[in-house]
Structure 1
Amino acid sequence: MMLTRLTIPIKPMRHRRAESRRRPFFRPTVNSKTTNEPPRLAASRIEYADGSVIREQPSEYSQRQVFAATPTSTVDPLLSLLHPAYGLPAQLVANFAALGIKTIYPWQKQCLGGPGLLEGDRNLVYSAPTGGGKSLVADVLMLKRVLEDRKAKAILVLPYVALVQEKVRWLRNIVGGISREELEENEQTEKPGFWAPRADKDTIRVVGFFGGSKIRATWADFDIAVCTIEKANSLVNAAIEDCSISTLRAVVLDECHMIDDGHRGYLLELMATKLLCLGQPVQIIGMSATLTNIELLKKWLQGHSYETHYRPVPIEEHLVYDGKVYAAGSTASLLKTVSQLESKSQFSQPRLQPLRTIHASDHKELTDPVRNAVVALANETARAGYGVLVFSSSRAGCESDAVLISRVLPTLEEADPAIQEKRLDLLSDLRSLSTGLDPKLKQTIPFGVAFHQRELVANAYDHGVLKVCVATCSLAAGINLPARRVILHGARMGRDLVGPAMLRQMRGRAGRKGKDEVGETYLCCRQTDLEAVVDLMHAELPELSSCLISDKRRVQRALLEIIAIRLATSQDSLDDYVSKTMLAYSAKSQSIQETVEACMADLKTMGFIEVEDNGDFQATLLGKAVVASSLDPEDGIFIHNELKKALQAFVLDGDMHVLYNFTPVHDLDSVPVNWKVFWNEMQQLDASGLRVMHFLGLKPFIVDNMLHGGNLKESTPKEKENARRYHRFYLALQLRDLCNEKPIHRVAEKYDMPRGSVQTLAQTCQGFAAGMIKFCETMGWGAMAAALDHFSDRLKAGARSDLLALAKITFVKSRTARIFWDNGLKTVGAVASADPKELLPVLMQAQPNKVKLGAKDEQKFRDKLLAKAKIIADSANRLWQIEIQMEMEEE
């Protein structure tokens, strides 16, 4: 096998050394002494086996070679989306072309040409590598369904909020400029009366639904809904219940391998099964990069299947071990490499020589060979102008890697002036968020490095403002940030090795079509993990199976949902539903029947369903509330008891009781309680907070006992509920601080938690709060629903009540809103009446510790702030006009 070298052009080391003698490696910024910036580091030298540091031969991989073997639309007309076979409007094809999709791949043509797919008559499940263009197939089929009927709806399901937000932007660009009126005229020429009139706008409406968003999951306001798994299931439930589901024509299940994820993926099975029971033409399209037993999904969905291994940008894979880089392009070469590395016999075959060597570092921060390799490899790629994606095992590891990498990269002053400006803008935008600017990001962003925390960071990386993005392994499937080089800082997620599917997700991020000739992956491995990594790389992807088979609670939820939305209320219809689950294709019918019978009995006992005189099943009010709030039945019992008790004595003279009811009831073990912090915060509670503790049955002596090594019993159901209350109250303390304008990084320091965990808690609680509001509304507890809704706004804004109105203004979040308030701009009307020039000094106050680049750049910065002030004033004017209109209507 031919061993290829790195394609990144870098300067010879001798030139770099000469250059370093002419000028210092680090030129501090104007205020570097005042910001306690850590000293600069030098990344280790990386050289080839022959001692060279630049590539002498071009890579054996190139886009020219790949595309030379790829037919074009001039050779095969079906590779053009304008071909009549696809039936797509010219404007839609033009929009695809504007975004870089001018032709399709042969595999995409073959997949779309499957029996009945373009007509919407058959379902589809298909597998293609990450970066292989799999999303385009689903987009084409989904858009065809929506465009062929004005009433048609489609749902696209994605696992993570970041992916939902990104896909919404993409689809809005794709459907931009498409006039339904023009389509109607063209269609009526061939089929008069085909379109039904619609009174609203003539565009295709793309709306995102995810936890914490204020958008209500209503059917009338979208043509394409892009949803998280939970929101999609809730949306389908609501549409079935009110009979509006009849307009649904397509559902896309992206990352459908998650269907066997025990925590939330099983909801995909529940939703798809409900669609199969409808008896109407809904095309289900499932896709993934890591599907194995695709035949099971094909059989379950009663559709067509397709598999491809094509990647437009090939990947060179490497194993980094003890400062040596080895080719690991296949399992066989990896096994050979490791076996020769571990061989100690003098008579063994000559060991495989490394492609490159990463020299040891003299810096104490980089004495660890794995950390040193990560930093050196990231530095090499970023300095060459390419993007780097680093995966670390933990959130703390992300921050540590980001800081170290930033310390070896060029300073802000050494960067291109346009990049300087954009990085300063990014810092300003992050600072204006409700969570404030994370101190670590403040330290790393000037050098073009960040850890994946927010949409702003992802956008900056995607546009080249940032060169290095560090993320946890668990985010591999939740980000769409391709890179020239992907570096894995070990192969663990926490303490456990990642699975084969997760490893493939991370490696699949390498290679950007249209930007790179090749993608590169580097798995930096420790000696203790070497054998396990071999097994991991050698392991086959696990086969999918139904999660319902292993958890009775999920079957309970499945049955309660279909009864509550009245999709199935008789024994026959229940049996029909169960027969259409993936469970029916994964387990024996006898065991399934026994499980269903036991679950139905449990639902009756818990008071969620009741049997009518004719033998049909009906959900009780409590059962409907549990389904509306997307709770599991057992969690629903706990929540019902907590809220019912709160109705008797709701403590409204403080924040703690409401915030306690916002904290989730699942996955509490992922956030351990620091009992010392709990004790300290308990000592500082006011009378209202202490009353909440007493009302919940939380005992100070128990907290003190836990502080001194005690054990919180969880043997009985009652003890488990009690332990859950302590845990939830601890999380509510953190939410209290967030709602009172304490930045996330301060909350993280106070409670000794990773910043990412606090941010995740805030986002999760926003979604959970929405569920609690729906629970109260369904139960008829309107006053409590209103109180919860108010605090939901505070949680989202990260602000006290007095700033809620200001926080609705564009660019004005908690910190900026407080500065506006302190400067006398206390209402939306006051901001609307202010001249943008009057807002400029206020915005300047909201930009502390700004890096100064000189008078010319200072003026540019002021001009940008003035432009932002104009946007703020315009936004305030719009909000003020709405307020005035509402007041006039009330009169």
Structure 2
Amino acid sequence: MSATLGNVKDLQSFLKAENYTNNFRPVELKEYVKIKDSIYEVDPKEEPCFTFSRLLNFKYSSGMQKMDPDHIIALATEIIPQQSCLIFCATKKNCENLAGMICKYLNKEFIKHKESEKATLLGELKSSGNGSLCPVLQKTVPFGLAYHHSGLTSDERKLVEEAYSSGVLCLLTCTSTLAAGINLPARRVILRSPYVAADFLKRSQYKQMVGRAGRAGIDAMGESILILQDKDINTAKNLLCAPMEKCYSNLLHDGGRGLLSLILSLIGLKITKTVDQVRDLMKGTLLSVQEAQVSPEKSLWDLTVESIQTLKQKNLIEVSSDVNNQNILQITRLGRATYKGSVDLSYCDVLYRDLSKGLEGLLLNSFLHLVYLVTPYDMVHQCKPDWMIYFRQFTNLSAAEQKMATTVGVPESFVARKAAGQSVRKSVDVVVVNRLYLALVLFSLLKETNLWIVSERFQLNRGFVQTLLSSASAFGSSVLHFTEELEEFWAYKALLSELTRRLTYCVQAELIPLMEVSGVLEHRAKQLYSAGYKTLAHLANADPRTLVKTIENLFKKQAYQIVASAKMLLTEKAEALREEVDDLLMMPSDLPSL
């Protein structure tokens, strides 16, 4: 299954599977560490662990030595631009700074390597940003370099990954997230330090990173180089010789949220009706296999009973008796709304309270109140407000919007005092304050629609803003399903349906029909709308050859795909309407025949 699992036998037992093990690797991987200007080969089986391999050959000026004390440029230029290189950095900012620094000292000959392809890439990056281009990428891409982390938008990441895979880019500076799930191999992988943020690397993280080295069918071998400072040598030796971390059941993670959610769904879906049936099903989980390791103090039975009691206390399930006086587990209205909306059990009661409070004075002349109600709770702690920006955005709100902010718990006086750097005596809920700040970001996006402008306005990286938007869209859909199960929230149904649609596409209302077409993003939708293709029907009846001539940077293949997708979508909508008409005609009528 994976080279980074230390307890495959647990999974084998859980899955009732046979275990086949093979250490064959298509491309040989050689692991090295660099200490000062010396390269050592890693051999965990030998006593010293590090065996001297060679001295690093480089010639640095004094200024260059100061800028690059780890000799990363020397390590990278040994193989680029002909071969590829990944450099893992501890933070997102490190990625950007390192890519920019390397470019300063590269030979100008690097610019000539695949020059036209790199110019095309810059054009595509600018197009994906609605005319905006990251200044770091603008500087690094001509040299064949780029950075890769969660601060990029999904379109930017896709373009960077494709350019790297095709050889247009020869070097990526990246964070550890690239190591898992993305197939971007390299001839050489460099780990700038043995840290991820402030935490020392785990064995599995290290293996995931160095595992990127070696491109099957291209290289005969791959190599990784971990750069170490003297203070980290002993810890690194322990890391390189340590066994793999074990994989454990997630059901007890974060206070047993997974176990609670599983039991609620089992009862809601009527898979189990009694405590004994729940216990029997729990015997088939990975947690059952690992019971003694994960929870030595409490048995799986104890954990199951505790979870059922917790669900009862949260008013998500109830116990009733059948004709045989047997206790039957049943889901409550709130429980059904929670599992049908896929709402995290940590927030279901808070969400119910917020929605109930919202009904008392729901602001309908603006989207702000509804946006606040669908702002994801789990992103609140990922962003600390800039108080001057907060105050500026607050003062731009209408009187009704400011009143709504005060109602949810964020008065203007509080934001003003924080912006002025003054202490605030009155206690205010930090979660509510941060949530409203994120809601203001989303509210700006709905009005502005340009992600780059909003990112700049709130001084947030565009990747975070895009993640916030997609999370709000998903959570909005969850809240909509949640309210559909509770009669008291009938007013939210139509309101949240439209808002979720707006959040999904985050464009001007007239562009939404075009955005539903596969392959059409905001920039392309604006081009089509300006060219007169304003509805789905217009686009479905378009001539692809005319589109290519009319729309800038639209290739023939893309044009045919867009028209085909529009036709299919239009057919589906027509079929749905026909079925609706048929259903209406089949309904019995109380009117007398004429």
Q: Under TM normalisation by the shorter chain, which class is it? A: 0.7 to 0.9
The aligned residue for residue 99 of structure 2 is 402
In structure 2, which of residues 113, 131, 141 is the aligned counterpart of residue 415 of structure 1? 113
Cα distance between partner residues in 1 of 2:465 and 2:272: 41
Give matches, 1:558-637, under 5 Å.
Answer: 558-584=262-288, 585-586=290-291, 587-588=295-296, 590-614=298-322, 615-637=327-349
Find the aligned partners of 1:712 and 1:837 in 2 and give their Cα distance. Answer: 67
2-structure distance, mates of 1:311, 1:712 = 63
Structure 1 portions without partners, runs of 5+: 1-286, 338-351, 845-861
Residue 315 (structure 1) shift: 0.8
Distance 1:481 1:727 in 2: 36
Q: 1:315 aligns with which of 29, 40, 56?
A: 29
> In structure 2, what is the Cα distance between the partners aligned to 1:656 and 1:478?
37
- Indicate the residue corresponding to 2:412 in structure 1: 700
* Residue pair 1:569, 1:618 contacting (<8 A) in 2 also: yes
Counterpart amino acid of residue 356 in structure 1: L
- The worse-fitting range, judged by mean Cα deviation, of 439-448 and 328-337 is 328-337
**Structure 2 CA distance, aligned partners of 1:376 and 1:735?**
44
Structure 1 pair 565–842 and aligned structure 2 pair: CA distance change class (3 A): same
Deviation at 1:404, TM superposition (A): 3.4
Q: Is the 8 A contact 1:766 1:796 kept in 2?
A: yes
TM-score (ref. length: structure 2): 0.83
Partner residue, 2:89: 392
Q: Which residue of 2 aligns with 1:441?
A: 137
Asked whether the equivalents of residues 427 and 437 of structure 1 are also in contact (C-alpha less than 8 Å), the reply is no
Distance 1:604 1:768 in 2: 25
Match of 2:24, SS state, is coil
Task: Give the corresponding residue for 2:78.
Answer: 380
Post-superposition Cα deviations, 1:287-330, rounded to whole Å, max 9, x if no partner, equal 22211122222333333233332212111112123343332344
**Does residue 514 of structure 2 align to residue 806 of structure 1?**
yes
| Separation (CA, whole Å) in 2 of partners of 1:842 and 1:651 | 43
1:524-563 deviation line (CA, Å, top 9, x unaligned): 2344434433332233223333344462433322322221
Alignment of 1:370-519 (within 5 A): 370=70, 373-383=71-81, 385-407=82-104, 408=106, 414-416=112-114, 420-421=116-117, 423-433=118-128, 438-439=133-134, 440-452=136-148, 453=152, 454-519=157-222
Displacement after TM superposition at 1:870 (Å): 6.0
CA distance in 2, matches of 1:611, 1:566: 14
Task: Provide Cα deviations, 1:796-830, integer angstroms capped at 9, x if missing partner.
Answer: 32312222123234554223434554566544455
Inter-partner Cα distance in structure 2 for 1:890 and 1:592: 50
Give the whole-Å Cα distance in 1 for the aligned partners of 2:217 and 2:95.
28
Aligned to 1:39: none
Contact conserved, 2:57 with 2:74, CA < 8 A, in 1?
no
Q: How far is the alpha carbon of 1:488 from its aligned partner?
A: 1.4
TM-score (norm 1): 0.57
**Residue 555 of structure 1: SS of its match in structure 2?**
helix
Matched-pair contact (CA < 8 Å) for 1:327–1:355: no
AA of the residue aligned to 2:18: H
Change (3 A) 1:867 1:475: closer
Residue number in structure 2 paired with 1:794: 502
User: Quick check: 1:663–1:728 contact (8 Å CA) kept in 2?
Assistant: yes
Specify the alignment match of 2:369 in structure 1.
Answer: 657
Residues 709 and 365 of structure 1: is their aligned pair in 2 closer, same or farther, counting only changes over 3 Å?
farther
Which amino acid counterpart does residue 645 of structure 1 have in structure 2? K
Check whether the contact 1:807–1:817 (CA below 8 A) recurs between aligned residues: yes
Q: CA deviation at 1:680?
A: 1.8
Give the equivalent residue in structure 2 for 1:723: 430
- State the secondary structure of the residue aligned to 1:672: coil
C-alpha separation in 1, matches of 2:549 and 2:425: 53
Q: Distance in 1 between matches of 2:280 and 2:543?
A: 66
Aligned length: 561
CA 1:511 to 1:625, structure 2 compared with 1: closer, same or farther past 3 Å?
same
Give the direction of change, closer, same or farther, for the CA distance of 1:528–1:782 in structure 2 (3 Å limit). Answer: farther
Q: 1:413 to 1:393 in 2, by over 3 A?
A: closer
CA distance in 1, matches of 2:373, 2:26: 50
- Cα distance in 1 for residues equivalent to 2:569 and 2:251: 48
Residue correspondence of structure 1 range 249-398 to structure 2 within 5 A: 287-330=1-44, 332=46, 335-336=49-50, 352=52, 354-363=54-63, 367-370=67-70, 373-383=71-81, 385-398=82-95
CA contact (8 A) 2:163 2:169 kept: yes
3-state SS of 1:733 partner? helix
Q: Give 5+ residue unaligned stretches, structure 2.
A: 582-594
Matched, 1:674 2:389: no
Distance 1:324 1:566, change over 3 A: same
Q: Please say if residues 88 and 175 of structure 2, whose CA atoms lie closer than 8 Å, have aligned partners that are also in contact.
A: yes
- Secondary structure at the aligned position of 2:14 is classed as helix
Contact 1:314 1:511 in 2 (8 A): yes
Task: Give deviations 1:401-447, integer Å, cap 9, x for gaps.
Answer: 33334552667861347xx24x4444444444477654133443343
Shift of 1:837: 7.5
Q: Secondary structure at 1:381's aligned position in 2?
A: coil
What's the offset of the Cα at 1:612? Answer: 1.5
CA contact (8 A) 1:326 1:354 kept: yes
* Matched residue type, 2:34: V
C-alpha distance in 2 between matches for 1:884 and 1:567:
38
CA displacement at 1:479 relative to structure 2: 1.5
Over 3 Å counting, the alpha-carbon distance change for 1:771 and 1:378 in structure 2 is farther
The 1:682/1:765 distance shift into structure 2, 3 A limit, reads same
- Secondary structure of 1:633 counterpart: coil
Q: Distance in 1 between matches of 2:530 and 2:125?
A: 21
* Contact in 1 for aligned 2:316/2:335 (Cα 8 Å): yes
**In the alignment, does 2:355 pair up with 1:643?**
yes
Helix, strand or coil for the counterpart of 2:213?
Answer: coil
**Aligned equivalents of 2:126, 2:569: Cα separation in 1:** 23
Deviation at 1:509, TM superposition (A): 1.0
CA contact under 8 A between 2:536 and 2:566: conserved in structure 1? yes
In 2: Cα distance, 1:690 partner to 1:759 partner: 26
Match of 2:278, SS state, is helix
Query: How large is the RMSD of aligned CA atoms in angstroms?
Result: 3.4
Partner SS, residue 226 of structure 2:
strand
2:439 match: 732
* 2:236 is the counterpart of 1:540: no
**Secondary structure of residue in 1 paired with 2:80:** helix
- Give, in angstroms, the shift of residue 570 of structure 1: 0.5
Kept after mapping to 1: 8 A contact 2:517/2:569 = yes
> Does the 8 Å CA contact 2:141/2:169 hold for their aligned counterparts?
yes
Match of 1:306, SS state, is coil
Deviation larger for 766-775 or 493-502: 766-775
Could you tell me whether the CA contact under 8 Å between 1:612 and 1:618 is conserved in 2? yes
- Tell me how far 1:840 sits from its aligned partner: 6.3
1:880/1:300 CA distance change after superposition, 3 Å: closer
- Superimposed CA distance per residue, residues 772-811 of structure 1 (whole angstroms, 9 cap, x where no aligned partner): 2332333355653443343333333231222212323455
Moved more, 781-790 or 301-310: 781-790
Structure 1: distance between partners of 2:426 and 2:200: 31
Q: How far does residue 482 in structure 1 lie from its aligned partner after superposition?
A: 1.4
Q: Which amino acid aligns with 1:474?
A: T
Q: State the distance in 2 between where 1:535 and 1:788 align.
A: 53
Contact 2:414 2:424 in 1 (8 A): no
The separation in 2 between residues aligned to 1:792 and 1:403, in whole angstroms, is: 39
Could you say which residue in structure 1 is the equivalent of 2:590? none
How far 1:590 moved relative to its partner? 4.5
